[in-house]
A and B are shown apart, each in its own frame.
Chain A
């Protein structure tokens, strides 16, 4: 079998719609397509819009706008185009788009190109289906003219237009040979799209196009970039975050075989060598004196978390926070409530640990043009940051998005791209690839924020909720990563706070964000705010249920009476887990629910606790998910399962700690993540509905921590309020 991956040399081509050109990096599909046929197809082709090119050989090239980091987007999005184009999927070639936000930006990110926040399907689904339908009408119009028959008499089968009345047919490739794109493209509205039940591809579990290459070592990630004359780089960063270099002695580095040069950087020291190993040896041989003085100098996480907790729970300091959301009387009725439930929730920093460490490759031509190859979640942010730092105008920076060996939010940031850009600047026009070590990666992540949350719930004499007050305190993500959005939102931090918004049917609630500024960079960790906010919300709902002596499932159903989709997933998961069945001694179930990213999901876990060691064992996880239209249902199920594994790992054991601004962990031995022997059976049911598709990549994560905490509470009477729930912490709690 020939490789299904084509690294195309045709680097730019003009499209009729949208002003931009497209740089082509990786492409998948059409195994038998030879170079000459490919060239022929490109020489004569029809491009009805910026997404689709139909070759005279029948090959349909579809642009994929989002970064492929394992979520299947490079199949799912083109599949939406193919569906309404009625293309023959076996003749579809998928090409990763270059950086061209005008043509391919995501409206949910204000038109930039970024992949994350579970916004790809939500941002492109309808648009791409319409693009496919529009192109199909162009083909139908051309065929109708050719045959001189009314367009309404024409139909399509995959890749072919039919005039059944005269039993004539024409392949799309044949039409492409003569068709012209009309000056006025046919207008298609969402209402005209065919219903899901008539779809050939959507909802049908089409095999992902990237899978075969990924079983043969043929898929090309950023780290696999190889260019003629390429050099290899490494970057030494200070142990104390944001510290500065005072002096450097690179004599040891110079002695390493393959060493080329050292390059002082604004944030560390770079080394260039002729292979990765040599670059690392040289980096390790650098003797650098750091100032040992930065904004993070006093950042010792155990201490800082205490101060966050004080900030979250000191309600007199309300002025220091911003109101995120207020309903009804907010927290006003809590004062006079018959009973007030109060709790603090804490979470430690966590690292992403994408299995492909951070890396990027860059090449300068002259002093004002840069080309970048990077496993990035956002070519727009990579361009912007590179432009700001180098002063090279954005239009002179070309970013090629490679495959990503995991993203999880880490690769929204562009710090690793900058390494390559700045080292390549010193490489006389040669390309430079910088590959971080795992230690670089663990010690210089954009961590999940360390967060303290304080929740107060007021109950009346009948244990009805009369007020809900939720305060979150921590370092802001958006203040650093998206300062404009942060300012525009009046100091609210949408990703930091997400998941706290109140979804149950009560009248009075107040959510506040108390921003802490200690200078450690925090970022987007899969599910972002949902990873800790749902821990607080779903634990407190369980406590209110307990105060009502109500079953946690029944209680949620009651508080979600106006939300049938929520009720349906909760009912379904209860059925899957056989919720009311008695469990073996020492085991208990816990439940939690989330509606984040327009996807409804409920999870039940079965746990036991070793009271001596404090170790929690999760025996089973059940999840019922309604993400609306599921473009690839099996892929939805594995995404949910993957997020559950990620969440189990995070909530049970992952933790990054700082001492005086320096991270204490370095690799998988001291930052262990879940392995195969730690993963319980996971049962996922995808409940397909006709609702617009919601986000899929993150939705499995938020319910997992509170479901575990709720199960442990049932078992022990003790509430787990500090993530991760590692053995040490659980043991202390149970003592």
Chain B
């Protein structure tokens, strides 16, 4: 089948019911999108399908068709999406494993709602688990990226 991933047409010889997640990771070698639960519970596998945040672990590849898939690798050209910059400034990631999914969910939120309040942020983000407990740093980073509350002092670049 043909897919459109990060604005590129790609071919994948896979069964239609194979979840998009495994096509991305195993067939296309794009490992930025993570596997965490396989049942739409954790959000680690979140990608955008035509801009809509989507759990790729439960999305059959055959259902995607010509829709545009955006993964963390395609969120920005040089890792400089305002959210990515804010994530670095706030030092959000610990183990980092959940963060691709967190960023993709947050990016979809800001696209729909460029200035979310705290409750809207928490509502949008509560589907994404961070086992390391970086939740408060995530909120601060989203607020920073959306020009909201004054955020913490960033770490020093030596």
Given contacts A201-B158, A438-B36, A438-B39, whether A220 and B31 have CB atoms under 8 Å apart is: yes
Instruction: Check B97–A206 contact: CB distance below 8 A.
Output: no
**Interface residue from B34, B84, B92, B154 paired with A405 (Cβ < 8 Å):** B34
Q: B41 contacts A216, CB within 8 Å?
A: no
Q: Which residues of B contact A208 (CB under 8 A)?
A: 91, 155
Q: Which of A223, A276, A634 contacts B34 (CB 8 A)?
A: A223
Please tell me which one of the listed residues B35, B88, B129, B135 contacts residue A668 in the complex, with CB atoms under 8 A apart: B129
The answer on a CB contact under 8 Å between B129 and A69 is: no
- A683 CB → nearest B CB, Å: 10
Q: Is the CB of A277 within 8 A of B32?
A: no
B37 touches A275 (CB 8 A): no
Bound together, the chains give a CA A217 to CA B56 distance in angstroms of 15
Bound complex: CA A435 to CA B72 (Å): 21
Please tell me if the beta carbons of A217 and B38 are within 8 angstroms of each other in the complex. Answer: no
Q: Are A405 and B133 in touch, CB under 8 angstroms?
A: no
Contact A435 B131 (CB under 8 A): no
Please determine whether B100 and A217 come into contact, CB atoms closer than 8 angstroms: yes
- Report B141-158 CB contacts with A as 1/0, cut-off 8 Å: 000000000001011111
Cβ contact of B93, chosen from A210, A220, A275, A643, cutoff 8 A = A210
Any B CB within 8 A of the CB of A419: no
Q: Does A216 lie within 8 Å of B84, measured CB to CB?
A: yes
B36's nearest neighbour on chain A, judged by CB, is: A355
User: Chain B contacts of A226 at CB under 8 A?
Assistant: 29, 31
**Total of A-B residue pairs, C-beta within 8 Å:** 196
Q: Check: A734 CB closer than 8 A to any chain B CB.
A: no
Please measure, in the bound complex, the distance between the C-alpha atom of A635 and the C-alpha atom of B73, giving whole angstroms: 26
B26/A277 in contact, CB under 8 A: yes
Closest to B119 in A: A677
Tell me the complex Cα distance, A617–B15, Å.
47
Give the distance to chain A from B20, nearest Cβ to Cβ, in Å. 11
Min CB gap B79→A, angstroms: 4
Q: Are A276 and B22 in contact (CB-based, < 8 A)?
A: yes
Interface set, chain B 28-78, CB cutoff 8 A to A? 29-39, 41-42, 44, 71-73, 75, 78
B122 at the binding interface (Cβ < 8 Å): yes
Q: Are B130's CB and A355's CB within 8 A? A: yes
Partner of A232, one of B26, B31, B39, B136: B26
- Report A724 CB to chain B, min CB distance, Å: 16
Contact (Cβ within 8 A) B19 A277:
yes
Contacts of A204 in B (CB 8 A): 156, 158
B29 smallest CB distance to A (angstroms): 6
Pair A212/B133 contact, Cβ less than 8 Å = no
Flag if B79 contacts A216 (CB, 8 Å): yes
Contact A207 B131 (CB under 8 A): no
Interface string of A192-204 (1 = CB under 8 A from B): 0000000011001
Question: How many Å lie between the Cα of A406 and that of B97 in the bound state?
Answer: 8
* B42–A215 touching, CB < 8 Å: no
Picked from B95, B99, B123, the residue with its CB within 8 Å of the CB of A215 is B99
Encoded as 1 (CB less than 8 Å from any B CB) or 0, chain A from 676 to 689 comes to 11010110000000
Q: Is the interface of A mostly helix, strand, loop or mixed?
A: loop
The reply to whether B26 and A221 form a contact with Cβ atoms under 8 Å apart is no
Q: Which residue of A lies closest to B128 (CB)?
A: A676
Question: B31 to chain A: which residues have CB within 8 Å?
Answer: 217, 220, 223-224, 226
Whether A642 contacts B158 in the complex (CB less than 8 A), given A216-B32, A216-B79, A676-B139, comes out as no
A residues less than 8 Å from B99 (CB atoms) = 214-215
**Chain B residue at smallest Cβ distance from A439:** B38
Which of B37, B91, B95, B129: most chain A Cβ within 10 A? B95
For window 96-149 of chain A, which residues contact chain B by CB distance below 8 Å? none
B94 beta carbon closer than 8 Å to chain A: yes
Residue from A211, A223, A407, A674 within 8 A of B35 (CB atoms)? A223
- Residue count of chain B within 8 Å CB distance of chain A: 66
Evaluate contact between B122 and A676: CB separation under 8 angstroms.
yes
Residues of A within 8 A of B14 (CB): 275
- The answer to whether B125 has its CB under 8 Å from any CB of chain A is yes
Cα of A645 to Cα of B44 in the assembled complex, Å: 19
Contact status of A207 and B134, CB under 8 A, knowing A215-B103, A277-B22: no
Instruction: Evaluate contact between A206 and B158: CB separation under 8 angstroms.
Output: yes
Query: Is A350 in contact with chain B by the CB < 8 A criterion?
Result: no
Set of chain A residues within 8 Å of B88, measured between Cβ atoms = 207, 211-212, 215
User: Binary interface profile of A, 621-658, with partner B (CB < 8 Å = 1, else 0)?
Assistant: 00000000000001100110111111000000000000
Among B39, B96, B125, B157, chain A packs the most CB atoms within 10 A around the CB of: B96
Q: Is the CB of A406 within 8 A of B132?
A: yes
Taking a contact as CB atoms under 8 Å apart, the answer to whether A669 and B22 are in contact is no
A404 to B96, CA, bound (A): 9
Shortest CB-to-CB span from B17 to chain A, Å, is: 9
Docked complex Cα distance between A275 and B35 (Å): 14
Min C-beta distance of B55 to chain A, whole Å: 12
A219 to B79, CA, bound (A): 13
Q: Which residues of A contact B71 (CB under 8 A)?
A: 217
- Residue B137 interfacial (CB < 8 Å): yes
Whole-angstrom distance between the alpha carbons of A218 and B135 in the complex?
21
Please report the C-alpha to C-alpha distance between residue A227 and residue B111 in the assembled complex, in whole angstroms: 37
Please state if A275 and B95 are interface contacts (CB–CB under 8 Å). Answer: no
Chain A residues with CB under 8 A of B154:
207
3 nearest A-B pairs in the assembled complex, by CB-CB distance: A217-B32, A645-B133, A405-B97
Question: Which residues of A approach B to under 8 Å, CB–CB?
Answer: 1, 69-72, 89-90, 200-201, 204-208, 210-221, 223-224, 226, 232, 257, 275-277, 353-357, 403-408, 435, 437-438, 634-635, 638-639, 641-646, 667-669, 673-677, 679, 681-682
B residues engaging A (CB < 8 A)?
A: 14-15, 18-19, 22, 25-27, 29-39, 41-42, 44, 71-73, 75, 78-80, 84, 87-88, 91-100, 103, 122-123, 125-139, 152, 154-158
**13 chain-A/chain-B pairs, Cβ below 8 angstroms:** A70-B96, A207-B154, A215-B87, A217-B72, A217-B100, A224-B25, A226-B31, A277-B18, A355-B132, A403-B96, A438-B39, A645-B133, A673-B131
